[in-house]
């Protein structure tokens, strides 16, 4: 359990939400290990009164979480489309060419960097998962297998590999030593370079009750206020941002070396966080109450449907799905199976609740009356993919921010 804030080092915490002791969200099980005890860790969230960073109190060793990873970004059409758009945009806006360099931390299978490579811009990926790094290399994306931080940043800089653009999409929340990561970013970024960083936004998490995005891989949950203080501590400027709908609501941050002025959008976001209460503990006490009410409503809905003879399955063997299933105690008594497009996950079982993970073809084969959408952050994409199921009477249950049937 942490005794100091992961960002500012303070020790004044206010409780946010205690999800209990749960298995790791991506620790999928093989059939022959279902009768073996699972490793479980406390999952409790607190608010730092000094810098406003929301964070979990337990740190699972990163090697245990990421060295052999099961999440492949390329399986999401939405993620790939978003990556392509930002790559093409930054090539145009920053006048990148074959003498430039783009570096990405947590580059996964090359889903983003390949779009730069296709435009003849040199790239370098850095990812700690050996299995995923190898796939990226096979796809033509040079990838260094390591955790990014100050040591890697200094090493690249010493070799003259300082970058015009640095990407860090959905990784900062996974970093235990935030200051080490940001110091590495500063070391590897050219004086006129820009870092494009995407993080799920705390404001959306609180407003939309996205409690299931809380799991052991996500150590931190960022507001603009906490990020502004983190980057400022390292001589970096949070210069601009954009709000994105992806992952239930995200921030795309543009970070440069200090010396300029933040955009009006930055100023407005920071002001709004003060007025909405994100910088004070009271907002988080209300969040906890609403989450407990949501859990009760969802369990009641599923139980009522099951009691009336309806067949229910789930869609998306995601990490957020694991949090939701375990926190709500939704198991085989309510859900028959979980569908997922990822061939890596198919044939395995969800952590804690031990639901079998099957290919999407199972929807047509078994035609459940309802699909609980665990990957609600990709609802639009999945509802289109499952048009045939819906046209034949199938319905989806979207669990947050309020259980609803579509």
- CA distance linking residue 50 with residue 30, whole number of Å: 43
Sheet holding 370-373, edge to edge: 357-358, 338-339, 312-315, 370-373, 395-398, 404-405
CATH of domain 65-259: 3.40.50.150
pLDDT value of position 260 = 92
Q: Place 67 in a pLDDT band, splitting at 50, 70 and 90.
A: low
pLDDT value of position 263 = 97
- CA distance linking residue 78 with residue 385, whole number of Å: 12
Site of tokens 């870092």: 195
pLDDT value of position 169 = 95
Angle (CA) 198-201-207 rounded to 5° is 160
Residue 14 · residue 288 · CB < 8 Å: no
pLDDT value of position 73 = 63
Q: Place 236 in a pLDDT band, splitting at 50, 70 and 90.
A: very high
Domain 283-405, CATH number (from 3.40.50.150, 3.10.28.10, 3.40.50.720, 3.50.50.60): 3.40.50.720
Q: How far is CA 354 from the centre of its chain?
A: 23
Please state the rounded mean pLDDT for residues 289-316: 98
Q: Place 62 in a pLDDT band, splitting at 50, 70 and 90.
A: confident
pLDDT at residue 1 above 90? no
Give Cβ neighbours of residue 391 (< 8 Å, ≥ 6 apart). Answer: none
> CATH 3.40.50.150 spans which residues of the chain?
65-259
> CATH 3.40.50.720 spans which residues of the chain?
283-405
The pTM (predicted TM-score) of the whole model is: 0.91
- CA distance linking residue 123 with residue 125, whole number of Å: 7
């Amino acid at each position: 359990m942490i005794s100091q804030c992961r960002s500012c080092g303070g020790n004044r915490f206010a409780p946010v939400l205690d999800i209990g002791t749960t298995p790791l969200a991506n620790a999928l099980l093989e059939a022959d290990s279902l009768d073996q005890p699972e490793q479980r860790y406390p999952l409790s969230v607190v608010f730092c009164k000094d810098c406003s960073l929301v964070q979990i109190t337990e740190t699972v060793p990163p090697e245990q979480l990421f060295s052999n990873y099961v999440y492949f970004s390329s399986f999401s059409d939405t993620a790939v489309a978003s990556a392509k758009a930002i790559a093409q945009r930054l090539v145009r806006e920053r006048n990148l060419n074959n003498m430039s360099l783009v570096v990405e931390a947590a580059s996964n299978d090359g889903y983003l960097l390949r779009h730069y490579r296709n435009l003849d811009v040199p790239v370098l990926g850095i990812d700690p998962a050996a299995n995923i790094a190898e796939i990226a290399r096979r796809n033509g994306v040079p990838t260094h297998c390591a955790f990014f931080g100050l040591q890697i940043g200094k090493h690249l800089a010493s070799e003259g590999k300082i970058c015009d653009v640095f990407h860090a999409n959905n990784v900062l929340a996974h970093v235990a030593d935030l200051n080490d990561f940001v110091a590495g970013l500063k070391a590897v970024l050219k004086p006129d370079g820009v870092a494009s960083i995407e993080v799920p936004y705390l404001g959306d998490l609180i407003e939309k009750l996205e409690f299931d995005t809380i799991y052991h891989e996500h150590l931190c949950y960022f507001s603009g206020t906490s990020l502004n203080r983190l980057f400022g501590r390292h001589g970096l400027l949070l210069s601009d941002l954009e709000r994105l709908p992806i992952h239930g609501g995200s921030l795309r941050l543009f970070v440069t070396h200090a010396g300029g002025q933040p955009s009006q959008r930055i100023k407005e976001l920071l002001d709004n966080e003060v007025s909405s209460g994100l910088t004070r503990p009271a907002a988080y006490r209300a969040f906890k109450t609403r989450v407990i009410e949501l859990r009760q409503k969802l369990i009641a809905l599923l139980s009522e449907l099951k009691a009336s003879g309806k067949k229910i399955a789930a869609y998306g063997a995601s990490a957020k799905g694991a949090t939701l299933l375990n926190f709500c105690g939704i198991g085989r008594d309510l859900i028959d199976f979980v569908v997922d497009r990822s061939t890596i996950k198919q044939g395995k079982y969800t952590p804690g609740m031990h639901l079998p993970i099957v290919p999407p073809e199972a929807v047509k084969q078994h035609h459940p009356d309802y699909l609980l959408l665990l990957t609600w952050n990709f609802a639009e994409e999945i509802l289109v993919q499952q048009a045939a199921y819906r046209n034949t009477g199938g319905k989806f249950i979207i669990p947050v921010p309020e259980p609803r049937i579509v």
